[in-house]
A and B are shown apart, each in its own frame.
Chain A
Amino acid sequence: EAGVAQSPRYKIIEKRQSVAFWCNPISGHATLYWYQQILGQGPKLLIQFQNNGVVDDSQLPKDRFSAERLKGVDSTLKIQPAKLEDSAVYLCASSLEGTLNTEAFFGQGTRLTVV
């Protein structure tokens, strides 16, 4: 089966610009996650969706970050305006709903550099 697809793979922007990342989860996976991984650290959850509803966005900097999953399938994460400290890899993941005997499957990520 196809894995989690993310685009773009790399993005370089200047501070104060805006940027958007796209994710298509594994088919049939109702739960979708966005994680931020800063160099040298483990990933940290930004937002979790179940279908098109938000389950957990407690760590999302809502003044500049937004995410949507309108049709309960693919998702977009946006940063506006970007800051230097937003430089990181943004990982999308998905998992099955309704079972705990599962794991999160990750995409290859989008590496963002803010200059």
Chain B
Amino acid sequence: AQKVTQAQTEISVVEKEDVTLDCVYETRDTTYYLFWYKQPPSGELVFLIRRNSFDEQNEISGRYSWNFQKSTSSFNFTITASQVVDSAVYFCALSEANRGSTLGRLYFGRGTQLTVWP
């Protein structure tokens, strides 16, 4: 069965600190997709990053970076030099493909509430 675990319920940091959000996943599929979404107080889930299971290359995009390690089933997300506007709930999610070519259901973790203090 598919499962996503975000062990950190809440994290508080001071502005300009770096912060890493942890995500551990379980799946029996060899092909799957991992995502990070941000949910600000307005409620809309905002897509941040996507990673395919066959691509373990870690990248940096602006202040965001991620560390995907299949050996430990982890997909951690780092915000560098955090800002107050980064305050939100962050969700890690896992998906497989339906019928080989369409994005299937997303399995979400419980989310991590990030608060960045000025």
Contact = CB atoms under 8 A, between A and B. Distances in A.
A42 B109 contact: yes
A108 B105 contact: no
Interface in B59-103: 91, 93, 97-99, 101-103
B91 A97 contact: no
Contacts of B105: 33, 45, 48, 56
Contacts, number: 73
Contact of B102 (A31, A93, A106, A111): A31
B44 A42 contact: no
Given A48-B104, A95-B103, A106 B45 contact: yes
Interface residues of A, number: 32
Given A42-B108, A43-B108, A91-B45, A103 B101 contact: no
B104 A56 contact: yes
Interface residues of B, number: 27
Nearest to B47: A103
A56 B52 CA distance: 22
Contacts of B52: 100-101
Nearest to A59: B105
B103 A31 contact: yes
A61 to B, nearest CB: 16
Interface string A60-101: 000000000000000000000000000001010101011111
